[in-house]
Each structure stands twice: as structure tokens, then as C-alpha cells.
């Protein structure tokens, strides 16, 4: 059987889902092929979405028309804003989701898209154009059951499945992409055969337990935020019943059990070679590397509304199941606990992402795109962001349109992808706010303003989303105009100021000035103005408040961003012959040739390329361009 | 200097022009071996000069005849050494040619290299290349100039410390402290769900204060450090016939190291560069300060005041016999002097004429140009007064601020750090406050030149001598 599509997506995780949806929204005939259609949008690790920086990515994906935010809203069973006690630029929305309902919601939203087909099969091969020695571009894929899909662009989002291998204690290693699921061996081999560099990472999950066996009286209850909190700026999904998480702490006894069994761990027994994430260590790592820490915090996260199962966050491990059962029982509240699923470590192949362009296309092979864990990242959110960008760019390329690139000062998605393609990875990559040099600009509440128009111009938004975006941006604009122009008299203002513990005023003052004071909120001021204030949603009021409160800092950051943009004007063509630039250090030449930055600004971010190298690079490129074109065309003089 | 041109090969005479036993001509750049080989090639005898330079052992000398390019006309017999990139002063391929030290030979060698395709180097360009090729950081490059210009042993010692990364290391320590502060904030912001309680914001502000204190200490070396380059200007002042010229001669005479007396009458100012206590001083003898009758005296007074305005210290001289006299002085002028920015050392001259019962006023130093009494005490006082911040226990401290550029960046770093701590204390959220921290960090980076800015380069390398 031969099927023909514009874009084919391999894999149905968070990256694959967004990739397929984005390609379909851009009008491409798209097919998503995955071994189990029942697990589309599966949450393989903890049942939660969002967090600091990550939650902002979800909002960005949503602002660009993606699925993750809406699906989280529809299946969230606890919503919290992390870092609320800190500044608004680092707030991070996070939600516990119902693990069973989430994939159903995702599947439903995918089904709303015209031009997107789903197909259940294991992809075992890729077909290319060009000769064996010089592969030019991708032509299609083959599945185990012999189906051939011809396509112009192929997006691989294989997650942890490429030569995936699971460990539950020393000597238990076996091939699997997730617990109970078959790994992708042939696909890994097919990709390895075309000359791409590969690496191996590992990650892990903790055990899960039966909630009926937990003594919650010995745990600390953690409820979600009281107020309304949602991810999507376009949709209002009805909210499910909300339930709490629980917190407990392991004690010295657990440390002792882990230490005693350390050699039975696959990690410490030397069976696992891949590099794991430092910020998400296994309990073996925690106990071994920080022996003085007597206790470790453990979150018991509900798996859903229809199940008693709890996810024991903080105890990722590769120890044998019996040891896991033993150390679980040492934890207050879990003394009689029954384990439902043991945790495990998983190793998998990834492809160092410095082989990609900013569009996430493999630089050496036309039409081939990678997104998600295959690029060495972790996290549902990071995967979704990449999936959307890969899917959009595949579709834009197929239809002969220009690329969609989010810049570092426009979104965490831009920071993520630029970091990947510029610096590569040496451990599984996760986003932090500190990776974003312009994080004051990248707030969770202004994703629509940052990326909505960009997505609309690229064609990623539906009519409905476009209208919602327009409404929101109009409200922000009108609101800001009102705050700049409207003055509040002392009688009405002082009640608000007093409430906030701020000094009273004796003559009328602009609300835009008053809102800059600590603890004075836009909402309170608007309320004090009564009928004089325009009707604004509370989310819009919050955005306006942040804009005014930190305007000085934001302006400073915007100026820095402008400066960087100027540097980005100096383009570096793909065919730049770095190897011939003898005035550059050897290391710089090697790195530039490998990474092939698009601009001087990107070259400056490559570790090992010094300021001196950059100066020489400018000179060399000008000289080379002069030779190639007869005169200096591209970058002036 | 415009944009550095690293693609070409540069040449310059590295030793001063003039007669001497040896002169050094240095070539640096991708074509330096080829050009040097060209200098050794006698026309019509291409193979006559042995192995090509690329096969020579590096860092050893070979004696070769140099020819005017394209002729059989020998210029000189010279010792030629090759250095292979990156193991050379500039980090590029380098050839050093030691010729006889005549006026014309090195000039002809440079000209020959130019004919063969080298460009005559601009001031400081060899050191600039060393910096651009990562052989040294900016403070080290500046130190090279300081060493060459050092007019006193202590100034040289400080510059050598600088070349040995003295300041760079202090900056690196400060920078790593800032990174430590940033790391606290990252923990605070990016890992809110971690078990360990984050460091309270107040503690971070207090730590920032500590770093500010250390920047202040480093900045405190700046006035003295900057004076190391040109020498501290010390003006001898006092009424006519107070023995200023004798004291001047006595101070200059015993430290004859470098004397450049300007021509002038007794009514004019006379200047000498002198090393005292190992530190460089510009000693200035002025005309009497008392308002005179004649036009010439008035002129002398003008000169005196001009020097007094730029003085780093004043030696105020009164002679022994002036014990209670010169009242006009004390009231009309001395008062005004106290308001000057620079410190004043009072000396009582001609002490050899003093009677046995005489004691100096207050902290006056009794000196005698005739017997030499008190000169050592005066030098000691001047040295510690102006350069005291550069020594601890008689030894130079490691890493000082030696020019305006370094001090400016340090002040920016300090100011940003102050804003950072202030913002935290005002309750401004950490991610906003940390933008100040980032700016402080970049300011420190600019001192050692981690950030490449053409302007800085132009300023740093502008006043360099050729060939270093």
C-alpha cells in the first residue's frame, strides 16, 4: 500500500502531536504514524504539565495555536502558579493532569483538524532521494506492515524509543520505549546509516503506589490555587473537579536502604552508559552525591480522578522492584504502601541537535526534521514547543513559504531551539528562566502579545483563534491607554493606596503612575475608577499592571535585545568556508564549521568562539564575499 | 587605529632607532616565514640558503645573509629565529631578525620585508595581535606598555605583576563572586519546589555589599596605580629664597636615575623625573610664590599656580630663619592651600643652620640640602603618602588598577552592584534586580577584555610604541 502526503510525522507524543497539528493547520495533507493510537499525547513521566519556564512554553505553544495548553485546561485536576511570591517574569503556571483523560482530550482536538490523518504502525525505514553516498532529501517512510508513505517532509519525534532500553536493577536491562512498549530499533538504524552523529542519554521514572494504602494523615496536603488559572488564551475549557497533592519527606532509613543496595542499581552497577539530567537526579544519585542531606522531599501526585494511583515524585530510580518496595515503606505515610508500578531508568539514542537548523530541519538532509527528546531534551513542554516549530516549518517549506523562527527575545521556544542548535547538549536539556537572557520580556501572561501575531501571519491560527487574539490585544491596548491618561482623585485613590500600605496622595494622579507602587494592583485601581474604567478581563489587568510596574527594567532589556538584533543583521551564509579562515583559532573553525551559525549574533553564542575570533570572522567573511561576488554584497563594508 | 587587520603580515623594528650592538626586526602573520625566506634569497641563487624556514627548529637562531629583495646586494649578516603559531608572542607565525645595530640596516630590512608583502606595523600592533589571538588579556596587554614605560623599579614591579595576571586574577575572583550571587538567585527562582530553603534575599544583598567592599579596596589602588605610569607630580613651593632649588637639586642629585631638566630661568619651573623609594615622581621646582613687584616675578607666580593645580603633592618649604615670619603667607595664601585637593608636606629647609634648641613645628620635616639630613624621611613620606595603597609590608600588592579605563569599568560594576543590592532591599523581585548583576558582570569582563569592543581596543592600543 502506498500513501501520499505532504508531511508525515513519526511518533504521537507531545512533539509529534504539535508537529502534526501545526502542519495540518497550515494546510498540508498530514499523516501521523505511531505504534499505538491509544497512547497519543501520552504522559510518560509525571502527570503534570507546566512549571517555571515550562509553563510559559505551554502558553507560547498555545499562543501559536498549539494543543497542549487547551488539553491541560480540559484535563487539569489541580492548578497552581509557582513563584507567585516572586516577580511576574518568573511565574510559572503548572497543572496536575488526569493521566487517562489527557490523551483523550488531545485526540479529540486533533480530530477537529481537517487534513490530518492518524495511522497505527511501527515505522521501520526512511526513503531518501539522492545517491547512497550523497543523500539529498527525504522521500518517504516504510512501516513494519509494508505500508509506504510518500511525503515531502518527514518529522521524527521518537521520544525515548530509539533503541530504548529499560533497567529495573542490575542485570534487568531489556529493550523498551516505555514500560511495556516495544523500542524502535530499525528506525534508529535507518537514521544512524545516513551519517548523522548519535549519542545516548538516560532518564528515569519513580514508582507509583496505591492511594488506598497511603496514610494521608502523616502527609502534608497541598491544594491548588483558589482563583481561576488556565493555560489557553483562546479557549475556555470547562474545569474538572480539583483534588490535592500530598507532600512527605524520606528519612535516614531510606538513605540507608539505598546505600546498602547501591550495587544492585543499574545506574551504579555500571550497566547504564548514557548521561542523565543533573537537575532531575535519581534517588541513588541524591543519596550518593549529597550524603549529608538527611531527608528528601517527596510529592505524591494524583494520577487522575478515576484512579487511586499516586505518582511518587522525587524517587526516580533504577533499583530492583523489591528494593523500591522496601524504601517506599520507610517513608512516613507510606509504611503500609502497596506499589502498583516500579520505577525504572531508560536509555535511548538521541541526535546531537547542533546538526539542525533553527527550523529543526536536519542540515544535511532536505525535508527531514527532528523534534523532542530525539534532540536531547527532556520535558513534555520542551517537546511540544519543538514539535510546533518543526511542524510549522516543514509545512511552510513544502508550500514554498518562508521559515518561522522564534527569536530569543520573543519566546522560551526561541531560547530552547537556539540553545540546541548553537550549543548542542551534554546532558538532557531542560528550560530554566536563567537560560533566557531576556527573561523579563518573556512573561507567562504576555505570550499572546509576543507570538500571536507571528503565528497568525504564518497562518497557524484558526479564524476562532485569530478573533480571540484580536480581542485580547485590543483590550491590552485600550487598557494601557486608559492607565496612561486617566487621573484618579485622592478621595478614590487613597482607599486603594491605604489598602496596599502605600502613602496617600493629596492631588490627583495618573493611574499608570499609581500602579507602579508596590502592592498596588491594576484591578483595585480600575475598581476605584468605577464606571470611568473600561471593562477589562482580570488577566488583561494583570498584564497591564506588570507592564507598568517594571517598565524601567523592561525598557533596559529591550534596548539590549535591540543591540543583539543588530549583530544578527550580519548574516553568515551556509556555505561559508570556515576551514579556510586561518586567522580563526582551530577550535573556532571546527565549531563554526559544525554548527554553521546563521548570523554573527549566533556565532557569538557558540562556546569556544572568542571575541577575537568574531572580529577575524567578520574580516574573513567580508574578504570571502568580496571574492565570491566580486564585491562585498551581503554584509556591506 | 581602525579595525584590526589580522589577515596580513606586519613588520617593524622592535629596538629603538640609533646605534647599538644589535637591532631586532620582528615579522608576524601568515606570510612571515615566506617573507623572511625572501630576505635570505640571493637573486639567481634560489637554493643557496638551505632549508625552507618551515623545517627550521623553532626558537633557535641561525646566521644568515640578508639581501635587498631581488638583488645580490647584501644588507647584513643576521641571526634569524622562527616561532610557530600559536607558540609565539603574537600567537601567529613570527620571525625575529637580529641585525647589527646601525641606523640604516634595520630600516633596510623593514623596507625589504615591506617590498616582499609585509605591512609596517602600527603602534602596539604586535601586542594587539597577541590580545586578539588570546595570548593575553587586556590588562596584560596594558601591562606590556607599562613595563616599557616604567620609570622606576616599583612601577616596573607592579606592571610585571599585571603581566603575570595580577589584576586579571583579582577581577576573576570578583567575577566568580558575582556568578555565585547569580547562582543563588537561580536557585531561588528556577527551583521553587526544592526542599532546601533558598538563601534569604536579605543575605544575598549582604553578600553583594561584601563584594562591593572588595571592589572599593581595588578601586582604592586606582589613584596611585594611575600615577605609576606618568609619575606623581610633586611641586616644591614656598617663598623666594626658601631653599627650594637646593632641595630640588639634592633630591634629584641623589637619585640621578632619569633627569630631564627643562631649560628655564630661576623664575621658571624646572622639572625632573626621579625615582624615590622606588616610585616614579615628576619633581617640579617653581618660582617663589610671593606676589612680586616686577613683571617677571608675576609670570613666575603664574607658572607656579599652573603646576600647583595639577600637583599630586606639594612640598611646602620654609627656611629655618622664617620661624615666625612670613605672616602674610600664612594668612593670605597658606589658608587657601589647605583647601587644595592634594596633600602637602611641610619641610623646614637649611636645617644645618638651625640652632641646637630649635625644634620643627608639628609634622614638619627638617631637611638640609647641604648635609643631606632629612632627605630620606621626606622621600619616605612622599612614597607612602601617594603610593601607600600599592604596598603592603614593603611589597607590592598583587593586582592594582593602573589606568582610567580599568577604574571606569570597576566603578560601573560597583554602581550596578549597589543598584542590585538596593533593588533587593526595596523588594524588587530577584529577576529584575539580577539585570544589575548581569551589568556588573559585563563591566568586570570588559576590564580583562572578555567582551571585545573595538573602542576599547583603539583606546588601549592607541599610544603604543612600535614593535613590542
CATH code (residue A221): 2.40.30.260
Output the pLDDT for position B322.
Answer: 61
CB A443 within 8 A of CB A88: yes
Output the pLDDT for position A380.
Answer: 97
Q: With an 8 Å Cβ cutoff, is A607 touching chain B? A: no
Q: Is the same domain home to A547 and A577? A: no
Could B7 and A623 be called an inter-chain contact, meaning their C-beta atoms sit closer than 8 Å? Answer: yes
Task: Note whether residue B464 is domain-resident.
Answer: no
Q: With an 8 Å Cβ cutoff, is B455 touching chain A? A: no
Q: Is the same domain home to B326 and B389? A: yes
- Here the cell at position B254 is 641623589
Comparing A299-308, A404-413, B88-97, B299-308, the range with the smallest average pLDDT is B299-308
End-to-end CA distance of chain A: 57
CA–CA separation, B300 vs B306, rounded Å?
A: 10
Nearest to A198 by CA among A158, A253, A154, A233: A158
Domain boundary among A531, A555, A579: A555
Instruction: Render the burial of A480-494: b for 16+ CB within 10 Å, e for the rest.
Output: bebbeebebeeeebb
Taking contacts as CB-CB distances below 8 angstroms, the residues of chain B near A295 are 195
Determine the distance in angstroms separating the CA of A210 from the nearest CA of chain B, rounded to an integer: 24
Query: Which ranges of B198-326 would DSSP assign to H, the alpha helix?
Result: 201-219, 222-230, 244-254, 295-309
Q: Is the same domain home to B182 and B114? A: no
Give the pLDDT band (50/70/90) at residue B198: low
Phi, psi of A628 (to 5 degrees): -70, -45
If one compares B311 and A452, the residue with the highest pLDDT of the two is A452
Q: Is the same domain home to B246 and B362? A: yes
Judge whether residue B145 has pLDDT over 60.
yes
Instruction: Render the burial of A288-301: b for 16+ CB within 10 Å, e for the rest.
Output: beeeeeeebebbbb
Q: Is the same domain home to A338 and A262? A: yes
Q: Which residues pair with B24 in a beta bridge?
A: B98
- Conformational region of residue A51, where left means phi above 0, alpha means psi within -120 to 50, and beta covers everything else: left
Cα separation values, A409 from A347, A414, A433, A469, A622, Å: 34, 8, 12, 20, 28
Task: Note whether residue B392 is domain-resident.
Answer: yes
Output the pLDDT for position B337.
Answer: 53
What tens digit of pLDDT does each residue of B153-197 get?
Answer: 777 777 877 777 788 888 888 988 888 888 778 777 887 776 665
> 3-class SS at B207?
helix
If one compares B459 and B385, the residue with the highest pLDDT of the two is B385
- Here the cell at position A181 is 512498549
The label of the residue with cell 496505591 reads A210
The residue among B193, B424, B450 with the most chain A CBs within 10 A of its CB, best to mutate, is B193
Q: With an 8 Å Cβ cutoff, is A527 touching chain B? A: no
The arrangement of strands across the sheet holding A165-167 comes to: A174-175, A165-167, A344-350, A199-205
Task: Note whether residue A231 is domain-resident.
Answer: yes
Range of the domain at B276: 226-396
Q: Is the same domain home to A339 and A240? A: yes
Task: Note whether residue B83 is domain-resident.
Answer: yes
- Conformational region of residue B350, where left means phi above 0, alpha means psi within -120 to 50, and beta covers everything else: left
Q: Is the same domain home to A531 and A578? A: no
Our count of domains for chain A comes to: 3
The residue among B8, B189, B199, B454 with the most chain A CBs within 10 A of its CB, best to mutate, is B189
Domain boundary among B381, B396, B411: B396
CA–CA separation, B249 vs B242, rounded Å?
A: 14
Q: For residue A615, what is the domain's CATH number?
A: 1.10.150.570
Q: Is the same domain home to A575 and A546? A: no
Instruction: Render the burial of B266-283: b for 16+ CB within 10 Å, e for the rest.
Output: ebbbbbbbbbbbbbbbbb
Task: Note whether residue A118 is domain-resident.
Answer: no
Domain boundary among B351, B375, B396: B396
Taking contacts as CB-CB distances below 8 angstroms, the residues of chain B near A249 are 195
Could B431 and A89 be called an inter-chain contact, meaning their C-beta atoms sit closer than 8 Å? Answer: yes
Question: Of A61-65, B339-343, B386-390, where does the model show the most confidence?
Answer: A61-65
Q: Is the same domain home to B365 and B302? A: yes
Taking contacts as CB-CB distances below 8 angstroms, the residues of chain B near A293 are 195
Q: With an 8 Å Cβ cutoff, is A562 touching chain B? A: no
Judge whether residue B263 has pLDDT over 70.
no
Phi, psi of B465 (to 5 degrees): -80, 150
Taking contacts as CB-CB distances below 8 angstroms, the residues of chain B near A297 are 193-195
Q: Is the same domain home to A601 and A543? A: no
Residue ranges of B 325-384 with Cβ closer than 8 A to chain A: none
Q: For residue B316, what is the domain's CATH number?
A: 3.40.50.300
Could A82 and B427 be called an inter-chain contact, meaning their C-beta atoms sit closer than 8 Å? Answer: no
Give the pLDDT band (50/70/90) at residue B462: very low
Q: Is the same domain home to A340 and A215? A: yes
Nearest to B371 by CA among B246, B277, B257, B266: B246
Judge whether residue B296 has pLDDT over 60.
no
Strand pairing report for B20-28 and B10-13: antiparallel
Output the pLDDT for position B451.
Answer: 46
CA–CA separation, A501 vs B362, rounded Å?
A: 59
Output the pLDDT for position B455.
Answer: 37
- Conformational region of residue B277, where left means phi above 0, alpha means psi within -120 to 50, and beta covers everything else: left
Q: Is the same domain home to B249 and B369? A: yes
Q: Is the same domain home to B332 and B424? A: no
Backbone CA torsion sign across A514, A517, A521, A524: negative
Task: Note whether residue B460 is domain-resident.
Answer: no
Comparing A220-224, A322-326, B106-110, B463-467, the range with the smallest average pLDDT is B463-467
Give the one of A86, A293, A583 whose C-beta lies nearest to B7's C-beta. A583
Chain mean position to CA A417 = 10
CA–CA separation, A141 vs A21, rounded Å?
A: 19
Output the pLDDT for position A582.
Answer: 79
Taking contacts as CB-CB distances below 8 angstroms, the residues of chain B near A619 are 3, 5-7
The label of the residue with cell 577584555 reads B449
User: Mean per-residue pLDDT for B212-224?
Assistant: 89
Domain boundary among A285, A312, A344: A344
CB A118 within 8 A of CB A40: yes
Determine the distance in angstroms separating the CA of B188 from the nearest CA of chain A, rounded to an integer: 9
Chain mean position to CA B187 = 42
Taking contacts as CB-CB distances below 8 angstroms, the residues of chain A near B86 are 585
Task: Note whether residue A247 is domain-resident.
Answer: yes
Q: Is the same domain home to A592 and A528? A: no
Domain boundary among A533, A555, A577: A555
Task: Note whether residue B455 is domain-resident.
Answer: no
CA–CA separation, B424 vs B106, rounded Å?
A: 62
Number of neighbours of residue A462 by Cβ within 10 angstroms: 15
CB B243 within 8 A of CB B317: yes
DSSP code at position B460: H
CA–CA separation, A451 vs B64, rounded Å?
A: 69
Q: Is the same domain home to B389 and B293? A: yes
Nearest to A388 by CA among A60, A75, A74: A60
Task: Note whether residue B463 is domain-resident.
Answer: no
Q: For residue B60, what is the domain's CATH number?
A: 3.30.1360.120
CA–CA separation, B450 vs B435, rounded Å?
A: 19
Q: With an 8 Å Cβ cutoff, is A612 touching chain B? A: yes
The residue among A614, A615, A618 with the most chain B CBs within 10 A of its CB, best to mutate, is A615
Give the one of A550, A610, A619 whose C-beta lies nearest to B432's C-beta. A550
Our count of domains for chain B comes to: 3
Q: Is the same domain home to A491 and A579? A: no
Residue ranges of chain A with per-residue pLDDT less than 50: 631-634, 636-637
Helix (H) or strand (E) holding B128: helix B125-132
User: Mean per-residue pLDDT for B242-254?
Assistant: 79
Output the pLDDT for position B85.
Answer: 84
* Number of cross-chain residue pairs from A and B with Cβ atoms under 8 Å apart: 93
Give the pLDDT band (50/70/90) at residue B452: very low
Q: Is the same domain home to A486 and A608? A: no
Q: Is the same domain home to B392 and B427? A: no
Q: Is the same domain home to B297 and B444? A: no
On the 0-12 / 13-18 / 19+ scale of CB atoms within 10 A, A199 is middle
Judge whether residue B428 has pLDDT over 80.
yes
Output the pLDDT for position B209.
Answer: 95
Q: With an 8 Å Cβ cutoff, is A546 touching chain B? A: no
Concatenate the DSSP letters of all residues of A177-216 into one string.
SBTTB--B-HHHHHHHTTT---EEEEEEE--EEEGGG--G
Q: Is the same domain home to B406 and B389? A: no
Could A619 and B3 be called an inter-chain contact, meaning their C-beta atoms sit closer than 8 Å? Answer: yes
- Here the cell at position A300 is 505524591
Judge whether residue B323 has pLDDT over 90.
no
CA–CA separation, B273 vs B260, rounded Å?
A: 6
CA–CA separation, A414 vs A417, rounded Å?
A: 5
Task: Note whether residue A384 is domain-resident.
Answer: no
Q: With an 8 Å Cβ cutoff, is B4 touching chain A? A: yes
> 3-class SS at B345?
strand
On the 0-12 / 13-18 / 19+ scale of CB atoms within 10 A, A586 is exposed
Nearest to B229 by CA among B449, B447, B403: B403
Output the pLDDT for position A56.
Answer: 98
Q: With an 8 Å Cβ cutoff, is B435 touching chain A? A: yes
Q: Is the same domain home to B266 and B287? A: yes
Range of the domain at A531: 479-555
Quote ipTM for the complex.
0.79
Task: Note whether residue B101 is domain-resident.
Answer: yes
DSSP code at position A310: E
> 3-class SS at A386?
helix
For A579-595, give the secondary structure using H, E and C: HHCCCCCHHHHHHHHHH
CA–CA separation, B40 vs B61, rounded Å?
A: 14
How many residues does this entry show for chain A? 637
- Here the cell at position A134 is 550523497
CA–CA separation, A13 vs A16, rounded Å?
A: 5
CA A309-A315-A321 angle, to 5 degrees, is 75
On the 0-12 / 13-18 / 19+ scale of CB atoms within 10 A, B46 is exposed
Task: Note whether residue B3 is domain-resident.
Answer: no
Q: Is the same domain home to A219 and A291? A: yes
Output the pLDDT for position A118.
Answer: 97
Cα separation values, B64 from B9, B50, B51, B81, B118, Å: 21, 10, 12, 10, 20
Could B451 and A89 be called an inter-chain contact, meaning their C-beta atoms sit closer than 8 Å? Answer: no
Q: Is the same domain home to B57 and B164? A: no
- Here the cell at position B20 is 647599538
The label of the residue with cell 561584601 reads B210
Q: Is the same domain home to A548 and A573? A: no
Amino acid at each position: 500500500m502506498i500513501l501520499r502526503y505532504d508531511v508525515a510525522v513519526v511518533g504521537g507524543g507531545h512533539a509529534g502531536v504539535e508537529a502534526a497539528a501545526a502542519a495540518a493547520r497550515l494546510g498540508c495533507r498530514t499523516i501521523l504514524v505511531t505504534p499505538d493510537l491509544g497512547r497519543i499525547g501520552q504522559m510518560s513521566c509525571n502527570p503534570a504539565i507546566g512549571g517555571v519556564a515550562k509553563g510559559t512554553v505551554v502558553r507560547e505553544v498555545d499562543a501559536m495555536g498549539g494543543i497542549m495548553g487547551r488539553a491541560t485546561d480540559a484535563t487539569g485536576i489541580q492548578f497552581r502558579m509557582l513563584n507567585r511570591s516572586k516577580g511576574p517574569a518568573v511565574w510559572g503556571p503548572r497543572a496536575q493532569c488526569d493521566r487517562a483523560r489527557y490523551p483523550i482530550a488531545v485526540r479529540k482536538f486533533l480530530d477537529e483538524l481537517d487534513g490530518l490523518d492518524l495511522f497505527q504502525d511501527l515505522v521501520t525505514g526512511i526513503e531518501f532521494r539522492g545517491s547512497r553516498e550523497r543523500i539529498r532529501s527525504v522521500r518517504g517512510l516504510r512501516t513494519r506492515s509494508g505500508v509506504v508513505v510518500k511525503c515531502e517532509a518527514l518529522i521524527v519525534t521518537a521520544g525515548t524509543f530509539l533503541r530504548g532500553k529499560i533497567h529495573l536493577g542490575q542485570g534487568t536491562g531489556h529493550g523498551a520505549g516505555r514500560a511495556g512498549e516495544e523500542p524502535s530499533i530499525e528506525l534508529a538504524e535507518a537514521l544512524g546509516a545516513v551519517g548523522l552523529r548519535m549519542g545516548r542519554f538516560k532518564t528515569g521514572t519513580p514508582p507509583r503506589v496505591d492511594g488506598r494504602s497511603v496514610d494521608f494523615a502523616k502527609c502534608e496536603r497541598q491544594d491548588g490555587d483558589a482563583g481561576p488559572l488556565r493555560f489557553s488564551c483562546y479557549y475556555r475549557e470547562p474545569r474538572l473537579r480539583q483534588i490535592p497533592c500530598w507532600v512527605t519527606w524520606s528519612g535516614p532509613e531510606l538513605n540507608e536502604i539505598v546505600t546498602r543496595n547501591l550495587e544492585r542499581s543499574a545506574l551504579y552497577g555500571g550497566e547504564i552508559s548514557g548521561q542523565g539530567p543533573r537537575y532531575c537526579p535519581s534517588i541513588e544519585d541524591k543519596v550518593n552525591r549529597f550524603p549529608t542531606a538527611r531527608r528528601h522531599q517527596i510529592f505524591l501526585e494524583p494520577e487522575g480522578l478515576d484512579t487511586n494511583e499516586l505518582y511518587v515524585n522525587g524517587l526516580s530510580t533504577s533499583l530492583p522492584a523489591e528494593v523500591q518496595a522496601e524504601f517506599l515503606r520507610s517513608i512516613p505515610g507510606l509504611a503500609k504502601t502497596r506499589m502498583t508500578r516500579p520505577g525504572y531508568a531508560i536509555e535511548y539514542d538521541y541526535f546531537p541537535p547542533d546538526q539542525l537548523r533553527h527550523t529543526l530541519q536536519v542540515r544535511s538532509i532536505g525535508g527531514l526534521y527532528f523534534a523532542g527528546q530525539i534532540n536531547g531534551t527532556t520535558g513534555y513542554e520542551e517537546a511540544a514547543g519543538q514539535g510546533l516549530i518543526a511542524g510549522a516549518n516543514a509545512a511552510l517549506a513544502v508550500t514554498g513559504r518562508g521559515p518561522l523562527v522564534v527569536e530569543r527575545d520573543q519566546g522560551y521556544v526561541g531560547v530552547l531551539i537556539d540553545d540546541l542548535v548553537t550549543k548542542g547538549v551534554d546532558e538532557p536539556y531542560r528550560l530554566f528562566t536563567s537560560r533566557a537572557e531576556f527573561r523579563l520580556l518573556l512573561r507567562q501572561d504576555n505570550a499572546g502579545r509576543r507570538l500571536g501575531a507571528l503565528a497568525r501571519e504564518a497562518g497557524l491560527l484558526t479564524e476562532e483563534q485569530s478573533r480571540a487574539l484580536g480581542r485580547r490585544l485590543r483590550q491590552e491596548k485600550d487598557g494601557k491607554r486608559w492607565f496612561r491618561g486617566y487621573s484618579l482623585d485622592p478621595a478614590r485613590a487613597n482607599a486603594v493606596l491605604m489598602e496596599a500600605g502605600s502613602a496617600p496622595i493629596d492631588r490627583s494622579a495618573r493611574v499608570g503612575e499609581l500602579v507602579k507602587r508596590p502592592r498596588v494592583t491594576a484591578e483595585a485601581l480600575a475598581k476605584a475608577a468605577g464606571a470611568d474604567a473600561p471593562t477589562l478581563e482580570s488577566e488583561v489587568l494583570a498584564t497591564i499592571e506588570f507592564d507598568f510596574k517594571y517598565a524601567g527594567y523592561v525598557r533596559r532589556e529591550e534596548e539590549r535585545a535591540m543591540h543583539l538584533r543588530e549583530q544578527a543583521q550580519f548574516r553568515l551564509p551556509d556555505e561559508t568556508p570556515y576551514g579556510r579562515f586561518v586567522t580563526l583559532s582551530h577550535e573556532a573553525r571546527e565549531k563554526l564549521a559544525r554548527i554553521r551559525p546563521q548570523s554573527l549574533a549566533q556565532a557569538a553564542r557558540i562556546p569556544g568562539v572568542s571575541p577575537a575570533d568574531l572580529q577575524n570572522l567578520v574580516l574573513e567573511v567580508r574578504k570571502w564575499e568580496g571574492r565570491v561576488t566580486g564585491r562585498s554584497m551581503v554584509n556591506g563594508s | 587605529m581602525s579595525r584590526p587587520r589580522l589577515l596580513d603580515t606586519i613588520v617593524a623594528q622592535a629596538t629603538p632607532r640609533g646605534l647599538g650592538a644589535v637591532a631586532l626586526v620582528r615579522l608576524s602573520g601568515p606570510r612571515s616565514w615566506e617573507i623572511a625566506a625572501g630576505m635570505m634569497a640571493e637573486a639567481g641563487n634560489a637554493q643557496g640558503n638551505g632549508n625552507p624556514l618551515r623545517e627550521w627548529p623553532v626558537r633557535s637562531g641561525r646566521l644568515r645573509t640578508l639581501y635587498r629583495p631581488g638583488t645580490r646586494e647584501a644588507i647584513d649578516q643576521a641571526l634569524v629565529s622562527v616561532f610557530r603559531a600559536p607558540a609565539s608572542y603574537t600567537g601567529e607565525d613570527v620571525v625575529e631578525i637580529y641585525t647589527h645595530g646601525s641606523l640604516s640596516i634595520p630600516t633596510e630590512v623593514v623596507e625589504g620585508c615591506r617590498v616582499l608583502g609585509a605591512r609596517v606595523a602600527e603602534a602596539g600592533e604586535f601586542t594587539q595581535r597577541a590580545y586578539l589571538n588570546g595570548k593575553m588579556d587586556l590588562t596584560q596587554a596594558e601591562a606590556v606598555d607599562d613595563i616599557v614605560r616604567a620609570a622606576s623599579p616599583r612601577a616596573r614591579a607592579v606592571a610585571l605583576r599585571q603581566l603575570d595576571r595580577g589584576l586579571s586574577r583579582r577581577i576573576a575572583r570578583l567575577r566568580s563572586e558575582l556568578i555565585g550571587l547569580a547562582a543563588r538567585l537561580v536557585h531561588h527562582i528556577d527551583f521553587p519546589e526544592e526542599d532546601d530553603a533558598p538563601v534569604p534575599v536579605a543575605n544575598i544583598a549582604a553578600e553583594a555589599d561584601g563584594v562591593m567592599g572588595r571592589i572599593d579596596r581595588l578601586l582604592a589602588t586606582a589613584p596611585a596605580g594611575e600615577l605609576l605610569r606618568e609619575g606623581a607630580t610633586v611641586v616644591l613651593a614656598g617663598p623666594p629664597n626658601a631653599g627650594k632649588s637646593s632641595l630640588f637639586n639634592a633630591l634629584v642629585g641623589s637619585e640621578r636615575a632619569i633627569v630631564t631638566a627643562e631649560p628655564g630661568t630661576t623664575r621658571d619651573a624646572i622639572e625632573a623625573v626621579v625615582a624615590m623609594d622606588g616610585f616614579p615622581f615628576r619633581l617640579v621646582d617653581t618660582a617663589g610664590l610671593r606676589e612680586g613687584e616686577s613683571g617677571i616675578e608675576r609670570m613666575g607666580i603664574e607658572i607656579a599656580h599652573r603646576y600647583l593645580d595639577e600637583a599630586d603633592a606639594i612640598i611646602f618649604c620654609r627656611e629655618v630663619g622664617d620661624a615666625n615670619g612670613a605672616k602674610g603667607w600664612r594668612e593670605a595664601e597658606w589658608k587657601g592651600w589647605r583647601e587644595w585637593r592634594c596633600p602637602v608636606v611641610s619641610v623646614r629647609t637649611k636645617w644645618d643652620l638651625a640652632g641646637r634648641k630649635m625644634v620643627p613645628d608639628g609634622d614638619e620635616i627638617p631637611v638640609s640640602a647641604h648635609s643631606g639630613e632629612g632627605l630620606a624621611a621626606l622621600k619616605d613620606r612622599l612614597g607612602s603618602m601617594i603610593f601607600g595603597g600599592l604596598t603592603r609590608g614593603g611589597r607590592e600588592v598583587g593586582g592594582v588598577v593602573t589606568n582610567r579605563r580599568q577604574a571606569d569599568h570597576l566603578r560601573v560594576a560597583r554602581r550596578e552592584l549597589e543598584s542590585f543590592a538596593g533593588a533587593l532591599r526595596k523588594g524588587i523581585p530577584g529577576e529584575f534586580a539580577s539585570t544589575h548583576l548581569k551589568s556588573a558582570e559585563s563591566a568586570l569582563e570588559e576590564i580583562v577584555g572578555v567582551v571585545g569592543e573595538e573602542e576599547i581596543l583603539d583606546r588601549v592600543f592607541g599610544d603604543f610604541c612600535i614593535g613590542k
